[in-house]
Amino acid sequence: MSDSQETTSSQTLYEKLGGEAAVDAAVDIFYRKVLADYRINRFFDNSDMEKQAAKQKAFLTMAFGGPNNYSGQDMRNAHAHLVKMGLNASHFDAVMEHLGATLTELNVPAELIAQAAAIAESTRNDVLGK
């Protein structure tokens, strides 16, 4: 494992994190944290939990640097109704907390957590419709 890491410094973040299997491992943990957080769970209270989980998976795939086709405009459109419900920077911060905590729980090295957080952070203005 460590040998191959030496020689593959050109690996993408997504590959370093473990790809789709890592996203699958993270999505339940992350979604559980979000649903348990009274500050933000109203934004995630969808009667179709499977669809909601699929969206969490899309978000995590993006944050992990994985394949995704989301444009900034898609992000804006997808969150516009939440902005109307009062979505603001404090809620975005809470989600960022849960992302970090999820990766910590999965024993991801701090350096890679920082990279994933930076990708997620880059969507802030689009998500908040700024």
Partner 1 sequence: MRSITIGESTFSCQPDETVLETLLRENMQVPNGCRQGLCQACMMRSLDNPPPVSAQAGLKDTLQKQNYFLACVCHPEQDMTVALPNRQGASIEAVVVKKQLLTPDIVHLVLEYQTRFNFFAGQFVNLKRPDGLTRSYSIANIPHDENTLEFHIRRLPNGQFSSWVYDELELGAQLTLSEAQGSCHYLPGRAEQPLMLVGTGSGLAPLYGIIADALAQEHSGPIHLFHGSRDLNGLYFIDEMRELAEQFDNFHYTPCLSGEDIESDHIRGRAHDIALSSTETLNGWRVFLCGHPEMVNQTKKMAFMKGASMADIYTDAFHVLQGNK
Q: Which spans of this chain sit near partner 1 (rule: CB under 8 A)? A: 20, 27-28, 31-32, 35-36, 47, 49-51, 53-55, 57-58, 68-69
Q: Residue 12 or residue 32: which is nearer to partner 1 going by CB?
A: 32
Closest approach, Cβ 2 to partner 1, in A, equals: 30
Q: Which residue has the tokens 């404090």?
A: 90
Structure tokens at 20: 């789709």
Closest approach, Cβ 75 to partner 1, in A, equals: 12
How many CB atoms are closer than 10 A to CB 116? 23
Q: Residue 37 or residue 112: which is nearer to partner 1 going by CB?
A: 37
Q: Residue 25 or residue 83: which is nearer to partner 1 going by CB?
A: 25
Residue pair 100/9 in contact (Cβ under 8 Å)? The answer is: no
3-state secondary structure of 9: coil
Structure tokens at 12: 């993408």
Q: Residue 49 or residue 85: which is nearer to partner 1 going by CB?
A: 49
Closest approach, Cβ 66 to partner 1, in A, equals: 11
Half-sphere exposure of 15 (CA within 13 A, CB side): 7
Handedness of CA 104, 111, 127, 55 (dihedral sign): negative
Distance CA 85, CA 92 (A): 14
Closest approach, Cβ 111 to partner 1, in A, equals: 28
